[in-house]
Amino acid sequence: MNTMEKPHVAADPAKNQAMVRAVGVRKSYGSNEVLKGIDLEVQPGEVVCLIGASGSGKSTFLRCINHLEKINGGRLWIEDQMVGYTVKGHKLHEKTHAEICRERANTGMVFQHFNLFPHLTVIENLLLAPKMALGQSPEQSRPRAISLLEQVGLADKVNAYPRHLSGGQQQRVAIARALCMQPKLMLFDEPTSALDPELVGDVLAVMRQLAASGMTMIVVTHEMGFARDVADRVVFMHGGRIIEQGPPSEVLGNPQHERTRAFLASVR
C-alpha cells in the first residue's frame, strides 16, 4: 500500500451531507502546480458548472474527484468517504485498487471524446461495466440499459456499433453507459465540445433531463446557455484557483472579477 506524506491528516473528517467536499486540493505535475488549493462543496442534487480558460485546471480537478489523479495536498470526500485514501494512525494510506474501483463505480464520468468501445455494440457498451465492476449479469442489467437508451432517445440503436452513430448519438450512449452504473454523482468534461453545432442540442437536452431528475452533476462546459439555465451554481477557475462563484445570474450576469469578465467576453 502506498503512503502519502502530504496532505496532513485532519483530526476528524467530519461526516457531513455534502456529495463532494474538496478542501485545499492541490495537484502538481512535476514543478507545475495546476491546482493551487481548491475548496468546493457540492450538495446532493446540485448542478455545478465549472468554467474557465483552457489550462485553468478544470479537467485535472474533475479527475481528482474520482482519483484518476492523485492529489498532492488537501483532502477530498465523496459523501463520508475520503477519495483514494484511508486514515491509519496519523498517515494517509492509498486504498487498494479494488476499493478505489468500488468507490469509482459511484461516480459517472463523461468525456469530450465519448470513449465508447468501438468493437462493442451500444447495448454491450452499457452492460460491460455493470458486469465487470458490479458482477451483474447482462440479464440483470439489460432492462435498465434499455430504459436508459429510451431516455436518451436511442432505443432504435441498441444493436448498432458506435461507428454507425453520429457524435451526438455516441455521446448520448456514453451518458447512458455512465448512468447504467447507477452513480450518485456525474462528472462531465466538456461533453459537447467535440460535436458539430447541430448535434449539441440533443446532448444538452439529455443533461437537462438528468439535472431535473435530481442527479448531482459537475459540468465543465463552455455552453453558457446551459450554465445559465441549468446550473445552481457557476464556478469560475483561473490558474488553478476558484476566482469567483455564485448563481449563474450573478457570475454570468454580473461578474465581479476582471478575470471572469475577460473570460466571458472571450466565449461569447
Site for ligand ADP, rule CB under 6 A: 29, 34, 52, 54-60
Of the chain, the end-to-end C-alpha distance in Å amounts to 48
Q: Would you call 87 helix, strand, or coil by DSSP?
A: strand
| φ and ψ at residue 28, rounded to 5 degrees | -120, 150
Q: Which of 158, 154, 123 is nearest to 141 (CA)?
A: 123
| φ and ψ at residue 80, rounded to 5 degrees | -95, 10
Number of residues binding to Mg ion, judged by CB under 5 A: 1
Least distance between ligand ADP and beta carbon 245 (Å): 15
Query: Which one, 38 or 165, has the nearer CB to ligand ADP?
Result: 38
CB 110 within 8 A of CB 189: yes
Least distance between ligand ADP and beta carbon 41 (Å): 20
Least distance between ligand ADP and beta carbon 94 (Å): 18
Query: Which one, 151 or 193, has the nearer CB to ligand ADP?
Result: 193
Least distance between ligand ADP and beta carbon 243 (Å): 13
Query: Which one, 76 or 123, has the nearer CB to ligand ADP?
Result: 76
Sign, CA dihedral 157-162-165-169, equals positive
59 belongs to the binding site for Mg ion (CB under 5 A): yes
| φ and ψ at residue 77, rounded to 5 degrees | -130, 145
Least distance between Mg ion and beta carbon 68 (Å): 13
Query: Which one, 77 or 111, has the nearer CB to ligand ADP?
Result: 111
Query: Which one, 202 or 223, has the nearer CB to ligand ADP?
Result: 223
**Partner interacting with residue 29 (select from ligand ADP, Mg ion, none; CB below 5-8 Å by kind):** ligand ADP
56 belongs to the binding site for Mg ion (CB under 5 A): no
Question: For residue 96, how many other CB atoms are within 10 A of its CB?
Answer: 11
Q: Cis bond leading into 7, ω under 30°? A: yes
Where does this chain bind Mg ion (CB under 5 A)? 59
